[in-house]
Amino acid sequence: MEKLYDIKGYSIFDSDCISDEANVLEGQIILYEDNFFEGLVFDLKSSEKIDNLVSGVYYPDKAIELYEFLSTGDRGVLNFQCKKSANGYEGKVEHSGPPGERISGISRIVTQCSELSMEDADLKIKDLKDRIKNYTYFKISQDHYIWYSLFNSYRDTLCNLDLGQNDDSKNK
């Protein structure tokens, strides 16, 4: 069964702690049974509330790996790799820019299962799926669409790989 989550992510590239200067994204994601998710977020600090597509792998008790695809091709894909902590999920963020360029920083992601009735949640999920479909057809840059399509085609492998990398029993 699909679940709807509210999500908020913080990232900063030139500091070793999340502060008021951090970039902030906010939106909703749909978590599928295989622990793959997709959704739409916007930059909370921007005066324009332009949606960006997010997708990734989410194990609520362990970790989240989130990719943010932008509607314009002027900025690369953001990749958040965070493990469960007392404050949500904490880890690193990488910005992939022009070929060979990578900038790393720190990030925190906070999620909350949307507290809606089953009927309302189903309607919200359907609406979000429609908005995601519209986004991938009309708004995402061609380069990011190709990357997103490849990512989706390997979702089973990625979910299993991410679970294996975040399996605490292997680290004991």
| C-alpha closest to that of 112 among 128, 130, 89 | 89
| C-alpha closest to that of 102 among 111, 115, 90, 93 | 93
Q: Which residues of 127-141 are buried (b: 16+ CB within 10 A; e: fewer)?
A: ebeebbeebbeebbb
Kindly report, residue by residue over 127-165, the tens digit of the pLDDT.
999 999 999 888 887 777 887 888 778 776 766 765 556
More confident residue, 71 or 1: 1
Give the domains, in start order, of the chain with CATH numbers.
3-171 (2.40.128)
Instruction: Report d(CA 9, CA 22) in Å as an integer.
Output: 9
169: confidence class by pLDDT, cuts 50, 70, 90: very low
Which pTM was predicted?
0.84
Residue 87, sorted as left (phi over 0), alpha (psi -120 to 50) or beta, turns out to be alpha
63: confidence class by pLDDT, cuts 50, 70, 90: very high
| C-alpha closest to that of 83 among 103, 102, 104, 57 | 57
Kindly report, residue by residue over 27-39, the tens digit of the pLDDT.
999 999 999 999 9
Instruction: Report d(CA 140, CA 104) in Å as an integer.
Output: 23
